[in-house]
Structure 1
Amino acid sequence: MLTPVLASLLPLLLFCRISICQYSSDQCSWKGSGLTHEGHARDVEQVYLRCSQGSLEWLYPTGAIIVNLRPNMVSPAAARLSVCIKPSADSRGTNIYLDRNGKLRLLLREQDQAQGKVQCFSIQEGALFIEAVPHMDISRRITAFQYELVSDRLGPEAHSVGAPCQPCSDAEMLLAVCTNDFVARGSIKKVEQEEEHTTVTVELSRLYRQKVQVFVSGGVRVRSWTGRIKMPLQCGVRAGEGEFLFTGTVRFGEAWMSCAPRYKDFLRLYDEAQQHGTNPCHVDTD
């Protein structure tokens, strides 16, 4: 059943399908205010965010906005991307839907946003339709979230309880070393089972790459790094002896595991690929 606000906006939404709504923006992050809609609350603003990551902050929400999340480059691979959003702890004042050709699917209720849980969906599932929940006092209502576009390997199920734990193939392993947000060699020090994921504390002897600083140096005279890497809970990871090659992605400032072979197994695979000239990139294994 449609909410009263949504029902009142339907004529305008149909108009927006064949014309242009009153407002638009084209950027990585967006900040707006519902106060600009006070005199015309039936307006729907079209927001276009065309970056791999960014944020949205809607103060004093009234009416609704449609948020179109797209990569900044046109590519066939874009159809395989997924979108992840992470609401802030004080986000409230709206319900968030997925809008695909006028059909809405509820993604986040107002009361669920404060939990700050990451929600992911395929980019082909549509735009975000963010509808203000009617309140007598909107002065303390702010809807805010961060977003990221992620590859299909870390797609809609990457942060969910039901995410699969499939081992990487040889080709995926070699490619992960070349393309992932972080690549490091080290050992597992501790494994903690949390409510919805597992956190692995690692100590690194070699840090090949990190997109953002998720691993902290032990000091100028100590060539070691420490950090925490997350994995889906049901992967059943355990502390193991020996060295591993940790690869993965950084999502909202947190490291998530991708491929993590034992270093000796990676070394064997890398040497074989090197002999056949099939390595996608060079890695200093000395």
Structure 2
Amino acid sequence: MSHTIKTLLWTGFLSLLLLTSTALTNASVQARSALPTLTGALALLRHAPAGVANLRWNPTTKGLIVTIKVEGLQANTHHPAHIHSGLCPTDGPIVYKLNDVVADAAGNGTSQTMITNVTNGIPATAWHINVHSGPTLNTPAEALPVACGNVKNTQTLTTQPQAVTTALGSVATAANQNVMGATYLTLTGTTLTVRTMVANLVPGTAHAFHIHAGSCESQLPGTILYKLNNLVAGPDGTATSTTTIQNVTTIPATGWYINLHFSTNLATQPGYDVIACGNVISH
């Protein structure tokens, strides 16, 4: 994302925070008046899914164990994963197929794979790990990488055990897989106003998003509490949305999170793919 877009994004939300802070102060001063109480909350939207991959190589057996743990997936889904050659932006050929990452009811996925005959151990920089949208690789949408991490090994001696931990996160070259933004919530009386701005979307794409019960780290129960107006990306890949919801009595200190989806078609796994998530923090 360009410096200009990033500056506009955060300047806008800082201005909104300042205005709300001023409103809160004024509401406190005028507490004896008939004005409704104003409260607020913020959710910073970061790429999802995200996690880590641990690689362990044994110089005696020449065996490589790869363990992946990822959070922020759709509940009860399967996601193909591989070790590829090269770095995340280049997405080279598959070196080793890994067992699918399988998500539980909370959207937390795991995979463990034992690979034999890895004679030269873990290379210093020549591998990266992809987790794909899934559930298969039969279409470009399913094959899209939703989390990636470059493998960097600083202990390449093949006479000693090797261990590498790789962070899995955003994929700058994949569609809608490098999103960032923020959502601000204000409650005036029983009217909840939800304002969102995000960047790094594919221009012209539309995205469903909701307030859910739970957290980004454990999406249980995951119930949709409030449907928000779709985000539609402009020519520069940024999008804004405002939703007004009536009959809301409170914003809890914890227990709400916001999911932003790959598309508005939530009936398919690639369409449902959560591309950004943020926990709602009340203040």
TM-score bracket, normalised by the shorter chain, equals under 0.3
Please identify which structure carries the higher helix content: 1
TM-score (structure 2 length as normaliser): 0.25
Larger RCO (alpha carbons 8 Å, 6+ apart)? 2
TM-score (structure 1 length as normaliser): 0.25
Please identify which structure carries the higher strand content: 2
